Amino acid sequence: MVGFDSTDPAVAATTANVIARACTELNMETKSNATDWVRNLLENQLAEMKAKVERSEEALNKYVAQNNLVFATEDRSATPTGFGPTSMNVPTDRLENLTSQLTQAT
């Protein structure tokens, strides 16, 4: 609650309203700045994680190819080139979770 004392009731009301409006605008600006900061942080983390996942997948696929390895997927089938379509992929799940959080934050 904002109050302002004056001998003129109109001046008191106008001044109190101006102060309240300024406080509200400052509060909104602060929240907006915080949201922008978090969005930028999440975007940077997301980009870093995407790059890390890509590097890890490239390294894994290279290792698989060099060593003629086969990965079994959840349906017990095998794929010679790495993870099958139904295998659990934790980094991708984490990436999707961060993308979802970023969308909700903006």
d(Cα 103, Cα 98) in Å, to the nearest integer? 9
Quick one: how far is CA 26 from the chain centroid?
Answer: 25
Query: Would you say residue 73 has pLDDT above 60?
Result: no
> Would you state the pLDDT for residue 72?
53
For residues 93 and 22, is the Cβ–Cβ distance under 8 A? no
pTM of the model: 0.48
Q: Tens digits of per-residue pLDDT, 31-72?
A: 999 999 999 999 999 999 999 999 998 898 888 888 877 655
Q: What is the pLDDT of residue 21?
A: 93
